[in-house]
Chains A and B, each alone.
Chain A
Amino acid sequence: MLHIELKQIRVTFPQPEGGELLAVDRFDLQVQRGEFVTIVGPSGCGKSTLLSVVDGLVRSSSGQVHVEGMLVTGPGPDRALVFQEFALLPWRTVEGNIGLGLELQHKLSSRRIKELVLHYINMVGLQGFERHYPYQLSGGMRQRVGIARALAVNPEILLMDEPFAALDAQTREIMSVELLRIWEQDKKTVLFITHSIDESVYLADRVVVMSSRPGRVKEIIQVGLPRPRGLAIKDAPEFVRLRRHIWDLLEEEVRRQVDGKEDRA
């Protein structure tokens, strides 16, 4: 069943020196309910911008986003965003930060919020850090707070912007296994941005490869690997083939970006 539909999304930003920067252009994508879609693309190609548009934080200059057939005009409780920059409130503890989304919905009593928050603290493995402030946490722990904060509002759509970027390689793998485990439980629809090609294939039903700026869909790759997936799947011939293919696509784009810069110089 169709869950998210992006139609001809175009986003421009006004530039300080005047003029406009075309960040995303003619971007089309359809995401099915319960699908796990990963997005890869060169740095600055408009991935974060695209996710903000789906979340409703940024208005597209033209084109529309529909969620369950409804036009997106702003943020909603059906979607939650995990920010690339964590976006934790420094004067709130881990507990306070994870409870933020629930608090803003004004639906639950503070006692119930506290219970839920504890549940998600356990889920992301932050027991014992409930009363810590963000500055007392490592980058990886902060990002786990961001993930728990998004999960806590129990959204139908999870938008994740490079959530594992701050983690070391090992923790990163463990977290992606964890994420799949959580996802297998209730199959939320996930849009997941990453710079790691491995991660993009390992997690996804489909991988969207974006062109360099302005961001467009370069190619969408179906990942047919069976689920549930263990880490061993990364050695499967099909996995290796997909990884190679995505690598080639991205290399082409990065080259184009670099060459483009030289042309202008």
Chain B
Amino acid sequence: MKRWQRAWIGGLAVFAFLILWEAATPLGWVRVAGISRPTLVGGAFVQLAASGEIYDGLYISLKGFFLGFVLAVVIGIPVGVVIGRYRFLSMLLDPLLMAIYNMPKVAMMPLLVVWFGVGFGATVAVVLLGAVFPILVNTAVGIREVDPVWVRAVRSFGGSEWDVFKKVLLPGSVPPMMTGIRLGVGRGLLGVVVSEMYASTEGIGHLIGLYGMSFRITELIAMVGVVSLLGFVFADLIRRLEVWVSKGRAEVQW
């Protein structure tokens, strides 16, 4: 099936959902104060965009997200590679990592505020904490699953451990690594919103918290929409990155 056909069918469901939502209040199913209406939300969105409120919030949130996420990649991939490659390290660290991996990082929010203060620092920290473990663990899994015969091929032609790393381990573990990155983006986004709601005076998360507390449902939903749009855009970017990388561009040339 062609891509536009698929988009069309998927769009149908979105459209139906919007109609039901719009009709819910006039039909008397719920009160408008509870769920608002798509037309109102659209209007609020335009207004918030025009006043610059969205951009200011988005700028702060994205700054925290990217800083934390880049740190997570920079730490998670090398550490994951090393743990995946050396059995002793993985035996040593696996139980500890698994314990931290499965712990909801947002539970550490109060602690992070104590350490990094209210605001930007805590946001970066929670994004980093949320994203680094899925990236690290999945990279390690990817390295372990690399076909040993590829390693033997590189070794056979005189390749060093460094050659093995850049010509086989890194490109060979890309699919699980990308899974880790995708999970990391989700957790990082969650981290930004929670951190800003709980411990910040700026950013999209803070605005969501603010409109929530003052029961301005329409603006609240518009802001939530901004976050879910962000998630959608990131997911799409990662899908493109995966396609690009799987075409053999993953090998490091240096």
A→B interface (CB under 8 Å): 52, 55-57, 75-77, 80-81, 83, 85, 87-89, 91-93, 96, 100-101, 104-105, 133, 153
Contacts and interface: CB of A to CB of B under 8 A. Distances in A.
B183 to A, nearest CB: 22
Contacts of B250: 91
Which secondary structure dominates chain A's binding surface?
A: loop
Given A56-B156, A91-B246, A104-B167, 19 more contacts: A52-B152, A57-B152, A57-B155, A75-B157, A76-B158, A77-B158, A80-B156, A83-B152, A88-B153, A89-B168, A89-B172, A91-B174, A91-B247, A91-B251, A100-B153, A104-B157, A104-B158, A104-B159, A153-B157
B95 interface: no
What's the dominant secondary structure at chain B's contact region?
helix
B159 A87 contact: no
Interface in B237-254: 246-248, 250-251
A89 B156 contact: no
Contacts of A80: 156-157
B79 interface: no
Interface residues of B, number: 21
28 contacts: A52-B152, A55-B156, A56-B156, A57-B152, A57-B156, A75-B155, A75-B156, A75-B157, A75-B158, A76-B158, A83-B153, A87-B153, A89-B167, A89-B172, A91-B172, A91-B246, A91-B247, A93-B248, A96-B248, A100-B153, A100-B154, A100-B167, A101-B157, A104-B158, A104-B159, A104-B163, A133-B248, A153-B157
Nearest to A89: B150
Interface of B: 149-150, 152-159, 163, 167-168, 171-172, 174, 246-248, 250-251
A91 B158 contact: no
A-B complex: 8 closest residue pairs judged by Cβ atoms: A101-B157, A87-B153, A91-B248, A87-B149, A104-B157, A104-B159, A81-B156, A91-B171
